[in-house]
């Protein structure tokens, strides 16, 4: 809460933190499935922005902190293929996210884009949780020390990146809104457009 930093979280296990992130994003994808047919475009766009923010921050803390620690903790043979593959999958994830963020919600392929992203994430998460994490568990990695680093970096990125992205979203929402208001004013001024 206010004034609290993640340094004060005494027990942050890296694997638990990453698993929680995975579950949180999975929940948001499920939420999208539930609302996609009935919700306003702006609501869908806000949820997708949240998903993309969460995935971007998650991928970044893994790349900056978790994957390098994993490479050090696992012996070269054991970790290399898995971690190389994970790095390539992150690239694909970023491409999918970028395309989705650029697409207007009324794009006929928008919902399909979200679905493909969710399936790709599911595949990647499954590999991390069922192959990489068990190897880490039996390795020498100090998962609490790494967890604290992940939590700190996540907090930093959530504050900076999230704010920048949210303000973009707000700009888009605001311009949509002002179009609405302009229409409203024009109508009330008897100016039919
Ligand atoms: Fe990952
Ligand atoms: Fe992950």
- C-alpha pair distances (Å), 132 with each of 62, 96, 135, 139, 186: 12, 23, 5, 11, 59
- Cβ neighbours around 160 below 10 Å, total: 11
Q: Cα(125) to centroid of ligand 2, in Å?
A: 6
CA of 91, nearest ligand number: 1
CA of 85, nearest ligand number: 1
- What is the pLDDT, as a whole number, of residue 1? 44
Residues surrounding ion ligand 1 at CB below 5 Å:
62
- What is the pLDDT, as a whole number, of residue 123? 98
- What is the pLDDT, as a whole number, of residue 29? 98
- What is the pLDDT, as a whole number, of residue 186? 37
- What is the pLDDT, as a whole number, of residue 32? 98
Task: Single out the residue of 53, 81, 76 nearest to residue 139, CA to CA.
Answer: 76
- What is the pLDDT, as a whole number, of residue 184? 35
Q: Cα(133) to centroid of ligand 2, in Å?
A: 10
The stretches in the chain having pLDDT less than 50 are 1-4, 6-7, 163-164, 166-193
- What is the pLDDT, as a whole number, of residue 160? 78
Whether the Cβ atoms of residue 25 and residue 52 lie closer than 8 Å to each other: no
Whether the Cβ atoms of residue 35 and residue 43 lie closer than 8 Å to each other: yes
Q: Residue 65: enclosing H or E segment and its boundaries?
A: none
Alpha helices in the chain (DSSP H): 14-35, 41-61, 67-73, 76-102, 110-127, 133-137, 143-188
Q: Cα(186) to centroid of ligand 2, in Å?
A: 50
């Amino acid at each position: 809460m206010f004034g609290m930093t993640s340094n004060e979280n005494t027990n942050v296990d890296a694997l638990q933190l990453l698993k929680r992130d995975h579950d949180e994003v999975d929940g948001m994808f499920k939420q999208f499935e539930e609302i996609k047919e009935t919700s306003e475009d702006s609501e869908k766009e806000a949820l997708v922005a949240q998903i993309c923010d969460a995935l971007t921050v998650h991928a970044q803390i893994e790349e900056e902190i978790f994957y390098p620690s994993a490479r050090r903790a696992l012996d070269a043979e054991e970790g290399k293929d898995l971690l190389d593959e994970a790095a390539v999958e992150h690239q694909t994830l970023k491409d999918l996210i970028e395309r989705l963020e650029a697409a207007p919600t009324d794009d006929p392929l928008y919902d399909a884009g979200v679905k493909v992203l969710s399936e790709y994430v599911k595949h990647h998460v499954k590999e991390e949780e069922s192959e990489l994490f068990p190897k880490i568990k039996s390795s020498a990695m100090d998962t609490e020390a790494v967890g604290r680093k992940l939590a700190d970096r996540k907090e930093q990125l959530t504050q900076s990146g999230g704010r920048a992205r949210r303000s973009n979203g707000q700009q888009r929402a605001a311009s949509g809104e002002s179009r609405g208001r302009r229409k409203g004013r024009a109508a009330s001024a008897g100016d039919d457009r």
